[in-house]
Amino acid sequence: MPARTAPQDIPYASLEQAAEWYATFRSGAVDDAERRHWQDWLARDTGNRQAWARVEAISQNVAIARQTPEASSAALHASGAQRQRRKLLKTLALAALTTGLGWQMARQEQVQVALAGLAASHRVGVGERSETVLDDGTRLWLDSGTVVDQRFDDALRLVVLHQGEILLESGQDARRPLVVRSRQGSMRALGTRFQVRQFDGRSRLGVSEGRVEVTPFDAHGPMLVVEAGQEITFTRDGVSDAVALPATRDAWTRGMLIAEDLSLEAFLSELSRYRHGHLGCDPAIAGLRVVGAFPLDDTGQALSMLEAALPVRVRQVLPWWVSVGPEK
């Protein structure tokens, strides 16, 4: 079975050229000579083929080279529900066709998340946030791209985080405990304000007020209590040491991304959660440091601010394909 290639493993130059080719095909003015050049470019290097596959995946798998510009444009503007169903079907198909236990287990988690997203109690799209009050008075904030289920009964108040990040202020209910479950474990609120973010393979918990009791699903030993002002990460079988909770961790609830000496690569990774498409960084400038407060409701403005503060150039080949490179 061939090894999978992560986006960060694809050469940056190949990604940039793939975006150029995509823009060329979208223009509709492609002659036979250009098509042969594109085919030669694909045949020249494995990285080029991987980059082209990545561009097609981001564009909802529209085969631009084989469609008219009008058909491609219509496909790219499909409704959110249609995109969600296509994503689910693709995930299910890949899981069914792929062999190898490790790969199947990795796909299984993605399938579960996709299925949960179709009937979730609360969800927000990319670039959106929401605040709601649950039946017990608990206040719940959802960050960009978050999917949550609410399951309250006579004995338990349960919130299931499938993906994304949430902040909760627990309501008063002495009879029923408030429990949050991520894909790695459960967290029981002990009269508190706290936030949970779901990553691939791990969860992060930060407690602003009160305490939270953490139980990883496969861990052995006593439960861990996280105190106010502390932050931890945990997997299904272990918990990290507690560190100080950054004061700006919940800035997203106010529509801000606060960078306190972040690397440019890390900053763009965070910003990419709030916009559709590709947001890339040239490895030559990935280590530049970013400091400041940036708006999440206007990522274009955030990128303009970045360009004004650092010796970088923001290049937008297509509305959904943006790269940040050295200033020239």
Contact (Cβ atoms closer than 8 angstroms) between residue 127 and residue 164: no
The string of pLDDT tens digits covering residues 237-295 is: 999 999 999 999 999 999 999 999 999 999 999 999 999 988 999 999 999 999 999 99
Q: How would you classify residue 147: left for phi > 0, otherwise alpha for psi between -120 and 50, otherwise beta? A: beta
Region 319-325 average pLDDT: 89
The string of pLDDT tens digits covering residues 2-42 is: 444 555 577 777 877 777 777 777 666 677 788 788 888 88
Tell me how many degrees the CA angle 130-134-139 measures, rounded to the nearest 5: 55
Round to whole Å and give the CA distance between 314 and 281: 9
Q: How far is CA 63 from the centre of its chain?
A: 24
Q: How many CA within 13 A on the CB side of residue 267?
A: 29
The string of pLDDT tens digits covering residues 128-170 is: 999 999 989 999 999 999 999 999 999 999 999 999 999 999 9
- Res 59: pLDDT: 64
Question: Residue 243 is inside which H or E element, if any?
Answer: strand 243-244
**Per-residue pLDDT at 83 exceeds 60:** no
